[in-house]
Amino acid sequence: MKAELVSVGTELLLGEIVDTNAAFMSQRLAEIGVDVHFRHTVGDNLGRIVSVLELALSRSDAVLICGGLGPTQDDLTRESVAEVTERPLTLVAEAEERLRELFARRGYAFTRNNLKQATVPEGGRLLENTCGTAPGLLVEHRGKLLIAVPGPPPEMREMMEREVLPRLRERLGEHVTPVFSRVLRMADIGESSLVAQIDDIIRAQTDPTVAPYAKPGEVTLRLATKAASEEEAAPKLDGLERRLRQRVGDHIYGVDEETMEVAVGRALREAGATIAVAESCTGGLICSRITDVAGSSDYFLGGVVAYANDTKECVLGVPHETLVEHGAVSEPTALAMARGVRERLGADYAVATTGIAGPGGGTDEKPVGLVYLAVADADGAVCLEQNWPGTREQFKWRVSQYALNLVRKRVLGIEVGG
């Protein structure tokens, strides 16, 4: 089954709100095996909504519309569905009664405008809204489905789960082959370098498919297969994952929604080890990411954000001479920070960052983007130099991602170079 999504609302086209509904609806449809090839966003304008619906109906089996079901003149989804299906809007007495009751219960005045929320294109049906006033719509037209759900996210989600997805699943019947997918996440390899290492696997892909995707500070591989059930899909995905791990396993830090901070936490927890952090250029982001994980107090002892040189000296014990001789952004300082915080907090592992986030502060010798990352444990300490120009935000993120990955590899006994 092919479906298209239509988000209705001028506020979306003005960028006043982010369309999280479209992502939710897309995800749930993909999960039950509905293919969404196109998504549209259109303002509160009858002619334009109708043109989008006509296009979508001409090439897909179902059209799901979100928004525009309110009581005002700007809410035109009902009228648009009526026009595109050439059916008059008719009042549903039962729905009118329910609305009047709802308004009375909330102490709102019931106006003539509100009546329109009890109308439906002839032959269609209203979908009950248990969290708000606007009912949804469902119209079958020449073998195709038009479904409209309200725009407020909780109302949309509830109606999708209770009314829409079960109907679509039923209609899909036996023909449905849902997609099962798995995402492998990597942090210390570029997209093109990754693709070069698994080029033959990508080229030979049929089922499961494998697709790379680059995000700031990480690259993911999405494995996907159509199957009747999780049980049927799992061995296929497992087999492909195994082949990929043989090539690039050391780079894979997590699966699916697992973030780097969760992966680090799991590694530390399994090793029964604790960690302390010393941050200069990342300014607290590493600590903040570690503590985004519930239960992180089991392995995270704390950290020192040493921005000023004095703080590096008096809180972390970086020798004054090291700072004078090599500068704050240097390998000796990074190593001293990692060793200092590890010792002072009594942690098993420590990681430290010092670099030039920019936009100011760079020199020819030490440009913006230069960073030293050190990791220390009972066996000693190593330091890596990297250079990541970019915005301050990107720089902090990439350095934090790389630093956390260093810890992960060190804890797991994977070679980190240096």
- Binders of a copy of itself among residues 317 to 376 (CB under 8 A) are 344-346, 357-361
CA distances (Å), origin 71, targets 110, 193, 403: 11, 54, 53
Q: For residue 98, state whether it binds a copy of itself (rule: CB under 8 A).
A: no
CB 223 within 8 A of CB 210: yes
Q: For residue 95, state whether it binds a copy of itself (rule: CB under 8 A).
A: no
HEC profile of 328-368: CCCHHHHHHHHHHHHHHHCCCEEEEEEECCCCCCCCCCCCC
Q: Is 339 exposed, middle or buried (0-12, 13-18, 19+ CB in 10 A)?
A: buried
- Which of 69/92 has CB closer to a copy of itself? 69
Dist. CA 406–CA 374, nearest whole Å: 8
User: Residues 99 to 128: which contact a copy of itself by CB under 8 A?
Assistant: 105-111, 113-114
Q: For residue 416, state whether it binds a copy of itself (rule: CB under 8 A).
A: no
CB 76 within 8 A of CB 46: yes
Q: Is 96 exposed, middle or buried (0-12, 13-18, 19+ CB in 10 A)?
A: middle
CB 370 to a copy of itself: min, Å? 11
User: Residues 257 to 296: which contact a copy of itself by CB under 8 A?
Assistant: 277, 279, 282-292, 294-296
Q: Which of 165, 176, 202, 248 binds a copy of itself (CB under 8 A)?
A: 202
CA distances (Å), origin 351, targets 19, 278, 306, 347: 38, 6, 13, 10
Stretch that binds a copy of itself, among 82-90, 206-214, 236-244, 246-254 (CB under 8 A): 206-214
Stretch that binds a copy of itself, among 85-93, 247-255, 385-393, 407-415 (CB under 8 A): 385-393
- Which of 123/297 has CB closer to a copy of itself? 297
Q: For residue 72, state whether it binds a copy of itself (rule: CB under 8 A).
A: yes
CB 390 within 8 A of CB 373: no
CB 172 within 8 A of CB 33: yes
Going 144 to 148 to 154 to 159, the CA torsion angle's sign is negative
- Which of 253/300 has CB closer to a copy of itself? 300
Dist. CA 107–CA 109, nearest whole Å: 7
* Farthest CA pair distance, the chain: 85
CA distances (Å), origin 52, targets 14, 164, 214: 18, 21, 31
The 134-153 contact track toward a copy of itself, x by CB under 8 A, reads: ------------------x-
CB 77 within 8 A of CB 42: no
Q: Which of 297, 320, 325, 418 binds a copy of itself (CB under 8 A)?
A: 297
CB 141 to a copy of itself: min, Å? 22
CB 80 within 8 A of CB 89: no
CB 123 to a copy of itself: min, Å? 27
Q: Which of 228, 314, 412, 414 binds a copy of itself (CB under 8 A)?
A: 314
Q: Which of 232, 307, 325, 412 binds a copy of itself (CB under 8 A)?
A: 307
Q: Please, how many CA atoms are within 13 Å of residue 10, restricted to the half-sphere of its CB?
A: 7
- Which of 140/390 has CB closer to a copy of itself? 390
The 175-194 contact track toward a copy of itself, x by CB under 8 A, reads: ------x-x------xxxx-
User: Residues 396 to 415: which contact a copy of itself by CB under 8 A?
Assistant: 396
- Which of 124/223 has CB closer to a copy of itself? 223
User: Residues 42 to 61: which contact a copy of itself by CB under 8 A?
Assistant: 42-45, 48, 52, 55
Q: For residue 71, state whether it binds a copy of itself (rule: CB under 8 A).
A: yes
CB 162 to a copy of itself: min, Å? 12
Q: Which of 234, 248, 302, 327 binds a copy of itself (CB under 8 A)?
A: 302
| Count of residues of this chain found to bind a copy of itself when the rule CB under 8 A is applied | 115
